[in-house]
Amino acid sequence: MQGFTVHEVSPTLEITVQREAPRLLPALEAEIDRLWQSAQERLSGALFNGRVFSADTVAAQHIAGHFTEFRRIVAQMARSELYAELGLRPLAVNGIVRLSDGILLGRRSPRTAYQAGMWQLPPAGSIDPDAVNTNGRIDLAAQLLKELAEETGITAERSAVGAPLCIVEHPRSHVLDIGIPLVISLDGETALTRHRNLANGEYDPLQVIPEAELAARLSALGSALVPSARLFLARLGLIG
C-alpha cells in the first residue's frame, strides 16, 4: 500500500465535533462551485451536497473534527492541491461484513464522485450529522448500520458490530477509511435477495464470497479493488 498511511486506533476510540466549518475566501468558493458543477454534469446530477465529517486531528484514542459541505470535498478530490487550503480529511466507515457463508463484496456505481466502478467491502460511506449522539460524540456503529440498510437492503436485527480495526488514509484524496467488522446472522442468498429488493443501487453487482475463495477472488480483481480492503481483511486473519 505504497503512499497510504495507516493510523492505529483504540477499541475505545472517541470522535467529537469541535468546531464549525471555516468561511472561505470568495475566489476559493467560486473555484469549489465550478468544480462541483463540473462533477454534477459528469455524473448527471447524482451528487447531493450534504454535510459530512472531516477530521482535523487523528490519534489512537480520539479524533476531532468538523462537518463540512460535500461540495468542498468533491472539489478537493478533483484538485488535490486544494488540500493546502481546505485541509479536508473526510472520515468514512467501512464495514467488513461476515455472513454465515461468506464475505460481502461489491462494485461501486459508476455514478459516484470517488472510486467509481471499483470493488470494495460494503457498506461504506461518509459520516453525516445524524451520527452524532446525545453526548456529542459520533456513533460509528449507528452510521455503519445506516449505510448497511441503505446500500445493501440488509437491516441489523441480527448483527454484531466489532471494534474499529485501523484507519487507512488515502494519499491524494486524504479520505480516512476506518474498518469495522460486522457479523450478520444471514446466509448469502437471503442477503442478496434483500439487496435486489431494497438497496439504493450503490453496488452492482453485490456478491458473497466464501472465505476459502476470498484470496483467489481478490487476486483476480487486482487493482480494481480499493487498497484498504486487503488490509482490513488481513487484520481479521481472512487473507494472508
Q: Is the pLDDT of residue 201 over 90?
A: no
Chain centroid, CA 14 distance in Å: 18
Confidence of residue 159 (pLDDT cuts 50, 70, 90): confident
pLDDT of residue 96: 97
Work out the mean pLDDT of the chain and round it to a whole number: 95
Please tell me the predicted confidence (pLDDT) of residue 77: 96
The 10 Å CB-count burial string (b at 16+, else e) for 81-108 is ebeeebebbbbbbbbbbbbeebbbbbbb
Predicted local confidence at residue 200, as pLDDT:
87
Q: Mean per-residue pLDDT for 190-210?
A: 93
Give me the mean pLDDT over the 147-175 stretch. Answer: 91
Does pTM top 0.85 for this prediction? yes
* Residue 70 three-state SS: helix
Q: What is the mean pLDDT of residues 213-222?
A: 96
Fold of 5-235: Nucleoside Triphosphate Pyrophosphohydrolase (3.90.79)
The domains of the chain are located at: 5-235
Task: Give the per-residue pLDDT at 57.
Answer: 98
pLDDT digits (tens, 9 = 90+) for 72-123: 999 999 999 999 999 999 999 999 999 999 999 999 988 887 888 999 999 9
| pLDDT of the residue at 50 | 96
| Percent of the chain at pLDDT exceeding 90 | 89
